[in-house]
Amino acid sequence: MKTGSPTGADFIKAIYPKAKEVSQKTGIVLELILAQAAVETGWGRSIKGNNLFGIKADKNWTGKTVEFTTKEYINGEWVTKVDKFRAYDSWEESIEDYGKFLTSQPRYRDLFLPENL
């Protein structure tokens, strides 16, 4: 491994403790938390505002934000646009908010372990 070039294993090792805590607290499947963070950040190589999950900052968000260019699939076409995303002071804060975000949205109910429903 090159210095300053994290591996996927390094990234998972770094986020695992908080991801496990949030999984146990919310019932969100641990592997889902780890996998989405890996996909959204390219295994920790591209993280803006410590946002590990690409959660946008909608009009209800009162915390910190960061803007960056993103590509989204809208109406059957890829569109490049600048959008506002939630920003955090740490990865742990991002993971904690991810848990709160998913548990507050009824559309994500199927992501939870059966014993937590």
Q: Give the active site residues.
A: 72, 97
Asked if 58 and 73 touch (Cβ cutoff 8 Å), the reply is no
Residues 98 and 103: their CA atoms lie apart, in Å, by 9
Residue 53 near residue 36 (C-beta atoms within 8 A)? yes
Q: Which residues sit opposite 112 in a β-bridge?
A: 28
